[in-house]
């Protein structure tokens, strides 16, 4: 599965919380972690030396914390734009998954550079796990205080039955042997309005979608997942997904993303991009196959 995982740390306290919970990644198959910190030097006016010097002890401390949890760890400081530099590090080490968490980016940097999360989503060269850093305050510092625990307890799997969704299905089937307890398999029909459809079209589309849901549910059960429930929604995908998040206790969302590129993401949005932005739980995004 995901034996080599790249962690895109910004060395902030929020990432200290993520580092303390890295053991949770073992359920995904993690054995080797690559801890990468990107310094964007283009706009720093010659300050890169000082910034690199300040980053080294923080990176070393996070590396030691990961090693204490039984991982083989490599640490690297890269320079450049995050959306390119992180994938360069991933290719260098053969990483199979990129983990992105909260960033301490200022509003000015957000407007100028775009967030690290948006940058890696736009390129989407390998699966991406987005973590949120909500913590349980009453627990002592240094322990795993993130609410993003038991990742495989209850997965929400939205699908449109596309080729990319098929890739996500294959990932979920592999995770089935790693202890997935429950999956909610969701499909939103989303038939566009404003067209004159032939008689019986809506009924046929509903029947076909429900048949595909049943077929995919069978594949997930065959992969060893003990509980699979199907959810059919006649409306649009994003509201259906958000509704499922309100009514179910979801530990992880797994879905495909088309990686449509910056301008289409900016002006049209995408289901994956908006789920990544709005979901309160971790999101595992599977990109299309690279040509």
Identify the pLDDT of residue 145.
75
Residue 169 predicted with pLDDT over 50: yes
Residue 245 predicted with pLDDT over 90: yes
Identify the pLDDT of residue 192.
61
Tell me which of 37-46, 73-82, 224-233 is least confident.
37-46
Out of 50-59, 60-69, 204-213, give the one with best mean pLDDT: 60-69
Identify the pLDDT of residue 268.
33
Of 228, 225, 263, 9, residue with least CA distance to 116 = 9
Q: Are strands 128-130 and 155-158 parallel, antiparallel or unpaired?
A: unpaired
Residue 8 predicted with pLDDT over 60: yes
Contact 7, 102 (CB under 8 A): no
Contact 147, 205 (CB under 8 A): no
Residue 45 predicted with pLDDT over 70: no
- Residues 78-112 as b/e (b if ≥16 CB within 10 A, e otherwise) read beebbbebbbebbeebebbbbbbbbbebeeeeeee
Domain at 155-286: CATH architecture = 3-Layer(aba) Sandwich (3.40)
Residue intervals of the chain classified under CATH 3.40.50.620 are 4-130, 155-286
- Cβ within 8 Å of residue 248, ≥6 positions away: 154, 156, 184
pLDDT tens, position by position, 179-231: 999 999 999 987 665 566 677 767 788 889 899 999 999 999 999 999 999 99
Instruction: State the average pLDDT over residues 163-181.
Output: 94
pLDDT tens, position by position, 87-145: 999 999 999 999 998 655 444 333 333 467 777 887 788 999 998 756 666 677 767 77
Distance CA 143, CA 141 (A): 6
Distance CA 270, CA 281 (A): 18
Q: Where are the beta strands (DSSP E) in the chain?
A: 4-8, 32-39, 72-79, 97-100, 128-130, 155-158, 182-188, 227-233, 252-256, 283-286
Helices and strands per DSSP (H, E), number in the chain: 10, 10
Q: pTM for the full model?
A: 0.87
Domain at 4-130: CATH architecture = 3-Layer(aba) Sandwich (3.40)
Residue 122 DSSP class? H
Identify the pLDDT of residue 265.
40
Residue 74 predicted with pLDDT over 60: yes
- The chain-wide mean pLDDT, for the chain, equals 84
């Amino acid at each position: 599965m995901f034996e080599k995982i790249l962690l895109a740390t910004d060395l902030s306290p929020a990432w200290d919380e993520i580092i303390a919970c890295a053991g949770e990644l073992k359920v995904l198959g993690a054995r080797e972690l690559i801890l990468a910190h990107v310094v964007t030097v283009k706009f720093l006016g010659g300050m890169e030396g000082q910034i690199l010097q300040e980053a080294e002890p923080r990176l070393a401390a996070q590396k030691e914390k990961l090693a204490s949890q039984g991982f083989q760890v490599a640490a690297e400081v890269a320079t450049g734009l995050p959306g390119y530099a992180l994938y360069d590090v991933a290719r260098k080490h053969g990483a199979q998954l990129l983990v992105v968490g909260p960033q301490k980016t200022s509003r000015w940097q957000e407007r100028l550079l775009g967030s690290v999360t948006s940058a890696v989503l736009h390129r989407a060269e390998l699966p991406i796990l987005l973590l949120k850093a909500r913590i349980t305050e009453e627990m002592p510092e240094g322990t795993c205080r993130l609410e993003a625990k038991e990742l495989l307890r209850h997965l929400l799997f939205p699908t449109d039955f596309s080729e990319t969704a098929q890739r996500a299905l294959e990932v979920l089937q592999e995770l089935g042997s790693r202890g997935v307890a429950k999956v909610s398999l969701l499909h939103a029909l989303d038939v566009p309005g404003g067209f004159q459809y032939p008689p019986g079209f809506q009924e046929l589309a509903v029947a076909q979608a429900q048949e595909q849901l049943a077929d995919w549910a069978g594949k997930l059960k065959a992969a060893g997942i003990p509980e699979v429930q199907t959810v059919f929604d006649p409306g649009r995908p994003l509201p259906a997904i958000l509704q499922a998040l309100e009514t179910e206790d979801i530990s992880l969302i797994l879905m495909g993303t088309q990686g449509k590129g910056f301008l289409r993401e900016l002006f049209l949005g995408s289901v994956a991009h908006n789920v990544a932005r709005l979901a309160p739980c971790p999101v595992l995004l599977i990109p299309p196959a690279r040509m």
